[in-house]
Chains A and B, each alone.
Chain A
Amino acid sequence: MDYGLTGDSSPLISIYRRIPDVAMPPGRGFSFRDLYSYLSSEPEYGVSKNVEDKTVKLEDDLLTDPHSFPPTEMLSSVQNPRILLLQCRRHHHRHRLPLPPKPYLQTTISSSLHTSPPPASQIGTLRKSLLSREKTAVELAETYLTRIRLTEPQLKSFLHLSDNVLRDAGEIDRKIERNEEVGPLAGVFVGVKDNICTADMPSTAGSRILEGYRPPFDATAVRKLRESGAIVVGKTNLDEFGMGSTTEGSAYQVTANPWDLSRVPGGSSGGSAAAVSARQCVVSLGSDTGGSVRQPASFCGVVGLKPTYGRVSRFGLVAYASSLDVIGCFGSSVADTGTLLYAISGHDKLDATSSKREVPNFASAFITQDFSESKPLKGLRVGVIRETIDSGVDPEVISSIHGAASHLEELGCIVTEVSLPSFSLGLPAYYILASSESSSNLSRYDGIRYGNQAVSDELASLYGDSRAQGFGSEVKMRILMGTYALSAGYYDAYYKRAQQVRTLVQKSFKAALDENDILISPAAPSVAYKIGEKKNDPLAMYAGDIMTVNVNLAGLPALVLPCGFVEGGSAGLPVGFQMIGAAFDEEKLLKVGHIFEQTLQGCSFVPPLVADGFAC
C-alpha cells in the first residue's frame, strides 16, 4: 500500500542508529530550541507583585462592569442558592484574597437559555428501564445504533463499530428474563478509545502501522467493563498513539465537534468525547497523558475524569508515555463518569504500576438530595490556580471559571487564589518526558512481528521503510525529539532536567493541596477551535495543553465538567473547568462535581446535533 510517504522515508529512520547527527527537519515551524527555551527560562517566582496589580484592576472591573450583578435569568430560578449569597459576597471578598467577583455564568447565549433539568445519570435511567422491563436492552441498543447511523457520517467519532452489539444486548435481555443477576453496567453502551486493546475488534491507536491489528487480549479496563455487563459499541478515533490535541492526527479520519461540525473535538480522545457528547454511547473510555481526556471533555461539553496514576490498570493501553498515561472516563453526568471509573478501577497483577489501594464505592457521592436548603459544600477549601487565569487564556474562558468559582462559593466553599510557581515549567518538561518515553515505547513497531511491514531486502531499510510509512508526521516528530533528549550528552540537559521539574511540580501541587481540598482551573485556554486552525502550528497546539499537563506530571486525579458557554457555532461552545484533587481522592472530586452539576442551572450540555434528545 502506498501512503505517499516513501520518498522521504529513509533519512528519517536513520536516526535510530546515529542520533546526534540528525537535526530537526526544516520547515516544521517548531524547533526543539523552542522547548528548550521554556526549560531554561527562570521560573517566575516573582508573581506576587503582578497579582496584586491584577487584583486592583479586577476590582476596578467590578465597579465598572455592567454585568457585575446577576443577570435577570438567574433571578428567575428561584431555587438557586446563589441568590441568597449575593448580598454577602462583597463582604467576603474584602476579607479574603480577592477573587474576581463575576457572579454570573456565561449563559448569555440565547439558545442555551432554555431551562433544563440537571443532567441525570443515564446509566441509572437505563438500568431502571431495563430492570423494570420497560425497555429491552435490544431496543435500547437499536436507539443508539440508529443515532450512530444518523450522526456518524458527520461526526466520524468511531474507527470501528462492533458487530456484536445486538447479540450482547440480547444476552442481557435473556438474563433479565430469567431473573438472573446482571452486572452494574448491564446494557450500558461504551465507546472505547482505539488505543485500548479489544480482542474482538481492531486496535490501531489511530496509526497506519497498526492498521488491521487485532490484539489477542482485552485490556484490563475493557475486561472489567465486559464483566460488569457493559456493551462495547466500538473503537473511537484519536490522534495517532494519543499524540495530539485535536484528533486531526488520526491516520484515518478527522472527527468533528458535535457542537460545531467545523471545529475540532479536542484530543487526543476526541472520538470518545464526541461520541458521548452526541449520545452515540452512554459513556466512553479515553486515555490521558497530558490532558487527552480533559481537554476534549471541555471542547465537547461532557464530563471527563482523569484518575490518579495507578488507579486504573494500564494493561492493554497502547503505551505513549508510560509514566504519565492513564485510562480516563467520559460521561454526560458526573454520576455516570464515576460509575464507569468504579467499574474499571483497582489493582491489576498485570500492571506493576497499578495501586493496591482500595477503591471506595463512589456511588455514595451521587445520592440525590435537595441542595437548595443548605450549603452542601460548606467549608470546602477551593483554590483557584492563579497562573491558569492569566494572560494567554481566552477572557471568556476566564469569565466562565470565575463563574464556576462563584457557584462553588455559593455552595459553601471557601474560594481563594493559589499560586503554583512551577506551573509554566510543566509544559516543556512534559513534552520532553512524554517524547522521550514515546521514542522508547514506539520502538516495538518495527514491522517484524505485527503491523504493516515494508518490503525490503535488508534489515535496516526494512525497519526504516516500515516505520517511515507507518507513522504520521506528529509521531515522527515526537520520536525524533525524544530520541534527541535521551541521547548521550543531552540526557542531563533535557530528560534529567525535566525530571527535576517534575519533582518541583509535584511539590508545589502537594503544598497547594495541603492548603486546599481541591484546586480549580480552566480545562483548556480556549474553547474548541476550527479544524485545521492549529494543524501547522504544533507549538500553538502544544501550548493548549498548559492547563492539563502539570496534573499528569504530578499523577493527580482531575475532573473536568462543563460550566458554561462562549459564543461560537450555532448554539455556543461549551467551556469546561477542571477540579484537581489529592492523589486517590477521586471520591471528593466526584462529590463536589456532582453537587456542582446538579445545582448549575440554565445550562444544557446537549449539542444541537442530537435532534432526538437523549431520552432513553
Chain B
Amino acid sequence: MALTFFRGIQTRPIWLYPSAFVATKHVFYCTMKSTQTQTLEKQQPELKASANTQSKTLDNILTDYEAIIGLETHVQLSTQTKAFCSCPYNYGSQPNATVCPICMGLPGALPVLNSKVIEHAVRLGLALNCKLSYNSKFDRKQYFYPDLPKGYQISQFDIPIATGGYVDLDLPVEFGGGHRRFGITRVHMEEDAGKLLHTGNGSYSQVDLNRAGVPLLEIVSEPDMRTGIEAAEYAAEVQRLVRYLGVSNGNMQEGSLRCDVNVSVRPIGQLEFGTKERLSCFHNLDEENVEIKNLNSFSAVQRSIDFEISRQVLLHSQGHGDQIVQETRLWEEGAQKTVTMRKKEGLADYRYFPEPDLPEVVLTKEYVDDVRSSLPELPEMKRRRYEKMGLSMQDILFLANDMNVADFFDTTIAKCADVKLAANWIMGDIAAYMKNEKLSINEIKLTPQELGELIASIKSGTISGKIGKEILFELMAKGGTVKGMIKEKDLVQAIIEINPVPVRKEEIVDPLEIGKLVDKVIAENPKQLEQYRGGKTKLQGYFAGQVMKESKGKANPGLLNKILVEKLNGKS
C-alpha cells in the first residue's frame, strides 16, 4: 500500500515565530492502522440489552451474582489556560489553533504549572472529603502515541494530591431511592492528550493538539457500586460537584467529564472477583478487569454496565468464565452493547518516575483553609437542608441537581416562607417554560425575588393563583415586577379595598359556585346593573364586594372578577 505522509501546521497570527514546519493543513498526519483493532467476538453469546426472550432466565441467574463496579472519572478543568503553558483551550476551535512549543513538546520547551490547577484540585479534594497531600509531586507516565506530544503524560503516581474520601448521594425515587456513600480512592492532577481524527478510508490519521496539555483531575472511586444506576448516579453526583465548585463545566458531550468503568462479577457470597482482584488505583500496571470506554452520557454508563453484567454473568453461568479476560471494551451506543477494543497483552509498564522539570507541590495549611472557606454549599449539604425543610425527596433531588436552580429556590424562599409553594412553582411552570424555551434558570427574565413576591401576593390573597400564573409567564418572558404588573393591569384593587382580610381557609374556586353567587347578586341589584351597562363600569367593584360578602369572603378573587365581568357584560 502506498502511503503518503504529510506533516504540517498552519502558520497563524498566534505563531509569531518562523516555523520549522511546512504549512500544509491544520493537522498533522500519521498512520494509525494497527493500534485500534476492534475484533468482533465470535464465540461469545449474543446479548442485547433489550432482548426479552432470554431476560426471564437471565433475571434468575443475575440474582445469584454480584457486580463489583468502580469508576475512573476525568474532569477537564475550566482554567483560562492549559496546565503547563499559556495557551487557551476552547472546545471546537480549529485544529491546532491553540498550541505552542510547550504543549507541542518541542525540543527545549519546559512545563510551568498553572497554579489554578492546584486550587481546583484542592477544591475538589475537599469537596470529596479527601485527605490532602501537603507535599505531592508530578510524575511522568510514559507511552508512545501520536496524540501524546512528549511521549509521556505529566501525571501523579504514588503521591496524588488527595486520597481516601467519599461522596454521599440519594438515589432517585423511581429507582427505589435510598442514600449511598461511595468511597473515593484518589484524586490526581494530570494533563490531557491531543485528539486523533481517523479518516474515512483509514489510510492515515490526523492529530489535533488543541487539547494537549489541558488540565484534568482524575477521580478514582472505590469499587463500591453494584448496579448500573448506582454508577450513573455516582457520575452524576461528580458532575454536580464539579459544577457547584466551578472547576469544570462537567459537559459529557464535549468530553469535559469522561467516565471509564471497571466491571467484574462474582457469585454472591464469594470474595473473589470474576476477573483477578484489584479494581483500581495501582496505576503503574493496568487494572486487571474489564474496562468500558466511550461513555458519553449517564444513561450510557448505566446501560453499558447492565449489559456488561449480563454478559459476564451469562458467560459464568454457561461455564465460559474463562472467556472473561482483562480487556478494554467499547460501548456502542447504536447496538447498545460492548465490544472488545483491545485485549491487554501482559501488562503495560508506564515506567513512572518523578517529573524533574517541575518542583514539588507544597500546600500550606493557610492555603487549604482559604480554599475550604471559599467552598460553596455542596449538593449533599443542600439536600440535607431541604430535607429538614420538609420537602419530598423528588423535590430535593430536582432542586439540588443544579446549583443555579437551588440558588434561585433559596433566594425565593428568603422572600416568602412557603417552601412547598416555591418548589412547586419552580418545578412546575418555570421548569416547563425553561424546557420549552431552552433557557437556563439564569436566562429567564423572572428574578427569584419577584417569584417570592408573587407567591407572597397569592398567599396574602392579593391576587388569585390564576392571575398569579398569568403574571408569572409575563415575568418570565418580559421581566418586570409583580407590583408593577398588578397595577398595570388594575387587577385587584377593588378587592383590596373591600376585603382586606387575607386569611381564608376554604377558598371557593369552583366557577359554578361563584357563578351562582354572582347571579344572585346581579339579580338582587337590577338598578346597579342598569347603571353598569349604561357605562358606569366602576360599579364592578360594588358587585364584586357584594359577591365576596355573599361568599363570606371565601370566593377566589381572580375567578370572581372574571366571572363577574362576563356576567355583567351579558355573556352567558
Residues on A lying within 8 angstroms of B by beta carbon are 16, 18-20, 196-197, 199-200, 203, 205, 210, 212-217, 219, 314-319, 321-323, 349-353, 436-437, 439-440, 442-446, 448-450, 453, 455-460, 462-463, 483, 486-488, 491, 495
Establish whether residues A446 and B144, one from each chain, have CB atoms under 8 Å apart when the complex forms: yes
Interface string of B135-170 (1 = CB under 8 A from A): 000001010101001111000000000000000000
Establish whether residues B20 and A314, one from each chain, have CB atoms under 8 Å apart when the complex forms: no
Establish whether residues A19 and B351, one from each chain, have CB atoms under 8 Å apart when the complex forms: yes
Chain A residues, Cβ within 8 Å of B104:
449
Which residues in window 335-356 of B have CB below 8 A to A? Answer: 346-347, 349, 351-353, 356
Establish whether residues A352 and B32, one from each chain, have CB atoms under 8 Å apart when the complex forms: no
A462→B29 CA distance, assembly (Å)? 12
Establish whether residues A450 and B106, one from each chain, have CB atoms under 8 Å apart when the complex forms: yes
Establish whether residues A450 and B20, one from each chain, have CB atoms under 8 Å apart when the complex forms: yes
Closest-by-CB residue of B relative to A351 is B110
Main secondary structure of the interface of B (DSSP, over half): loop
Cβ-based interface call for B284 (8 A): yes
Contacts A322-B357, A352-B358 known; A216 to B112 CB distance under 8 Å?
A: no
Task: Pick the contact of B30: A196, A197, A318, A462 (CB < 8 A).
Answer: A462
Task: Pick the contact of B109: A315, A352, A439 (CB < 8 A).
Answer: A315
Establish whether residues B33 and A319, one from each chain, have CB atoms under 8 Å apart when the complex forms: no
Cβ-based interface call for B7 (8 A): yes
Establish whether residues B351 and A487, one from each chain, have CB atoms under 8 Å apart when the complex forms: yes
Closest-by-CB residue of B relative to A455 is B5
Interface string of B281-298 (1 = CB under 8 A from A): 000110000000000000
A458→B7 CA distance, assembly (Å)? 16
Establish whether residues B353 and A436, one from each chain, have CB atoms under 8 Å apart when the complex forms: yes
Chain A residues, Cβ within 8 Å of B150:
443-444
The stretch of B11-19, B391-399, B473-481, B547-555 that contacts the partner chain: B11-19
List 9 A-B residue pairs with CB atoms under 8 Å apart, sorted by A's residue number: A212-B20, A215-B101, A216-B15, A217-B106, A444-B150, A450-B106, A455-B5, A457-B31, A488-B347
Establish whether residues A352 and B112, one from each chain, have CB atoms under 8 Å apart when the complex forms: yes
Contacts A210-B107, A353-B357, A448-B7 known; A199 to B33 CB distance under 8 Å?
A: no
Establish whether residues A443 and B20, one from each chain, have CB atoms under 8 Å apart when the complex forms: no
Which residues in window 359-380 of B have CB below 8 A to A? Answer: 359
Establish whether residues B28 and A457, one from each chain, have CB atoms under 8 Å apart when the complex forms: no
Known: A214-B20, A349-B112. 4 other contacts (CB 8 A): A205-B107, A216-B17, A351-B110, A486-B352
Establish whether residues A215 and B113, one from each chain, have CB atoms under 8 Å apart when the complex forms: no
Which residues in window 1-39 of B have CB below 8 A to A? Answer: 1, 3, 5, 7, 15, 17-21, 28, 30-35
Give the Cβ gap from A160 to chain B, nearest Cβ, in Å. Answer: 14
Chain A residues, Cβ within 8 Å of B500:
none
A443→B17 CA distance, assembly (Å)? 24
Cβ-based interface call for B172 (8 A): no
Give the Cβ gap from A594 to chain B, nearest Cβ, in Å. Answer: 32
Chain A residues, Cβ within 8 Å of B106:
215-217, 449-450
Task: Pick the contact of A444: B107, B113, B285 (CB < 8 A).
Answer: B107
Establish whether residues B28 and A350, one from each chain, have CB atoms under 8 Å apart when the complex forms: no
Most buried by A among B140, B351, B352: B351
Establish whether residues B33 and A444, one from each chain, have CB atoms under 8 Å apart when the complex forms: no
Establish whether residues A215 and B151, one from each chain, have CB atoms under 8 Å apart when the complex forms: no
Establish whether residues A444 and B108, one from each chain, have CB atoms under 8 Å apart when the complex forms: no
Most buried by A among B28, B32, B109: B109
A205→B112 CA distance, assembly (Å)? 23
A347→B501 CA distance, assembly (Å)? 76
Interface string of B33-52 (1 = CB under 8 A from A): 11100000000000000000
Establish whether residues B111 and A352, one from each chain, have CB atoms under 8 Å apart when the complex forms: yes
The tally of residues in B whose CB lies under 8 Å from a CB in A reads 49
Establish whether residues A444 and B105, one from each chain, have CB atoms under 8 Å apart when the complex forms: yes
A317→B286 CA distance, assembly (Å)? 34
Establish whether residues B101 and A440, one from each chain, have CB atoms under 8 Å apart when the complex forms: no
Cβ-based interface call for B330 (8 A): no
Establish whether residues B357 and A216, one from each chain, have CB atoms under 8 Å apart when the complex forms: no
Establish whether residues A459 and B349, one from each chain, have CB atoms under 8 Å apart when the complex forms: no
Cβ-based interface call for B217 (8 A): no
A546→B352 CA distance, assembly (Å)? 28
A455→B346 CA distance, assembly (Å)? 29
Establish whether residues B30 and A448, one from each chain, have CB atoms under 8 Å apart when the complex forms: yes
Establish whether residues B353 and A486, one from each chain, have CB atoms under 8 Å apart when the complex forms: yes
Closest-by-CB residue of B relative to A13 is B144
Closest-by-CB residue of A relative to B17 is A216
Give the Cβ gap from B143 to chain A, nearest Cβ, in Å. Answer: 8
Chain A residues, Cβ within 8 Å of B108:
196-197, 203, 215, 217, 219, 315-319
Cβ-based interface call for B406 (8 A): no
A450→B107 CA distance, assembly (Å)? 10
Residues on B lying within 8 angstroms of A by beta carbon are 1, 3, 5, 7, 15, 17-21, 28, 30-35, 101, 104-113, 140, 142, 144, 146, 149-152, 207, 284-285, 346-347, 349, 351-353, 356-359
A504→B224 CA distance, assembly (Å)? 44
A439→B143 CA distance, assembly (Å)? 11
Most buried by A among B113, B349, B352: B349
Give the Cβ gap from A104 to chain B, nearest Cβ, in Å. Answer: 45
Contacts A216-B17, A315-B110, A316-B108 known; A443 to B142 CB distance under 8 Å?
A: yes
Establish whether residues B359 and A352, one from each chain, have CB atoms under 8 Å apart when the complex forms: yes
Most buried by A among B21, B30, B34, B284: B30
Establish whether residues A459 and B20, one from each chain, have CB atoms under 8 Å apart when the complex forms: no
A450→B31 CA distance, assembly (Å)? 15
Establish whether residues A216 and B351, one from each chain, have CB atoms under 8 Å apart when the complex forms: no
Establish whether residues B144 and A443, one from each chain, have CB atoms under 8 Å apart when the complex forms: yes
Establish whether residues B31 and A199, one from each chain, have CB atoms under 8 Å apart when the complex forms: no
A351→B111 CA distance, assembly (Å)? 7
Contacts A210-B107, A216-B101, A457-B1 known; A353 to B34 CB distance under 8 Å?
A: no
Establish whether residues B152 and A440, one from each chain, have CB atoms under 8 Å apart when the complex forms: yes
Most buried by A among B110, B358, B359: B110
Give the Cβ gap from B356 to chain A, nearest Cβ, in Å. Answer: 4
Chain A residues, Cβ within 8 Å of B28:
448-449
Contacts A18-B346, A352-B111 known; A459 to B17 CB distance under 8 Å?
A: no
Give the Cβ gap from A250 to chain B, nearest Cβ, in Å. Answer: 16
Most buried by A among B34, B150, B357: B357
A457→B202 CA distance, assembly (Å)? 11
Establish whether residues B20 and A216, one from each chain, have CB atoms under 8 Å apart when the complex forms: yes
Chain A residues, Cβ within 8 Å of B357:
319, 322, 352-353
Give the Cβ gap from B211 to chain A, nearest Cβ, in Å. Answer: 15
Establish whether residues B30 and A459, one from each chain, have CB atoms under 8 Å apart when the complex forms: yes
Establish whether residues A217 and B17, one from each chain, have CB atoms under 8 Å apart when the complex forms: yes
Chain A residues, Cβ within 8 Å of B34:
458-460
Chain A residues, Cβ within 8 Å of B15:
216
A442→B7 CA distance, assembly (Å)? 20
Task: Pick the contact of B33: A196, A445, A459, A495 (CB < 8 A).
Answer: A459
Closest-by-CB residue of B relative to A316 is B108
A388→B142 CA distance, assembly (Å)? 38
Give the Cβ gap from A188 to chain B, nearest Cβ, in Å. Answer: 23
Closest-by-CB residue of B relative to A484 is B351
Closest-by-CB residue of B relative to A18 is B346
Contacts A215-B108, A217-B101, A443-B151 known; A323 to B356 CB distance under 8 Å?
A: yes
Give the Cβ gap from A187 to chain B, nearest Cβ, in Å. Answer: 25
Closest-by-CB residue of B relative to A199 is B17
Chain A residues, Cβ within 8 Å of B110:
314-315, 319, 350-353
Task: Pick the contact of B20: A213, A446, A456 (CB < 8 A).
Answer: A213
Chain B residues, Cβ within 8 Å of A488:
284-285, 347, 349, 351
Establish whether residues B351 and A486, one from each chain, have CB atoms under 8 Å apart when the complex forms: yes
9 residue pairs, one from A and one from B, having the closest CB atoms: A443-B151, A216-B17, A323-B356, A322-B356, A486-B351, A214-B20, A316-B108, A318-B107, A197-B108
A459→B205 CA distance, assembly (Å)? 10
Give the Cβ gap from B35 to chain A, nearest Cβ, in Å. Answer: 6
Most buried by B among A210, A453, A458: A458
A251→B375 CA distance, assembly (Å)? 57
Establish whether residues A437 and B31, one from each chain, have CB atoms under 8 Å apart when the complex forms: no
Closest-by-CB residue of A relative to B99 is A449
